[in-house]
Each structure stands twice: as structure tokens, then as C-alpha cells.
Amino acid sequence: MDNQTVSYEQAKDHLNRLYDWSLNGHSCWSDFVSISYNDSGMSSVNFEHYGYIELVLFGNSLTIFNNWGLEEVNKMIDEVIAENNELAETE
């Protein structure tokens, strides 16, 4: 992505795609959340098991920080989690 502004909708879409992909049993969502929340128990992300798709989705999610601050990204993460919890409850 070039240095264009990432809209709120695009940012949420990046996060939703990363979350959805993690449902395949991959750690990409939890890795991103740990970085964003600055989880002191996490020293680094192990990209050893990341493939092309995981790297692209993770990278797209990282671009959100260019336009949105840490607090806003954390709010978006909370929204994605809440939205997906609501979907799970209705199923």
C-alpha cells in the first residue's frame, strides 16, 4: 500500500480479514493483538509458520498504525472481537 490514508472502514476490513483467517488455526490474529496491546509476555512474533497470505494480512493490519494511533487500533480490535462474539451468540 502506498502512503494513502487508510479509512476507518478499510482498517476494520483489514482487521476482520486477519481475524477470519485466524479461524483456520493460525496465530496471526493473536500475534497482532499481542503487539497492539503491548503484551509484556510476548517477546517477538514467530513468523516461521507464516505463509504468504498470513504475511499479507498481518502487513495490511500493521498499515493501520500509519493513520490511526495505538488507542484507536485497540478500540477497533475490541470492536472486531465484540462483533464476532455477537455473531457466535446468534449461531
Kindly give the confidence (pLDDT) of every residue in the chain, 91 residues in length, as a single tens digit, with 9 standing for 90 and above: 444 689 999 999 999 999 999 999 999 999 999 988 886 666 788 899 999 999 999 999 999 998 898 899 999 999 999 999 887 777 6
Predicted TM-score (pTM) of this structure: 0.85
1 in a domain, yes or no?
no
CA-based nearest residue to 19, from 80, 83, 82:
80
24 in a domain, yes or no?
yes
Q: Is 42 helix (H, G, I), strand (E, B) or coil?
A: coil
2 in a domain, yes or no?
no
68 in a domain, yes or no?
yes
Domain ranges, residue 54:
8-90
3 in a domain, yes or no?
no
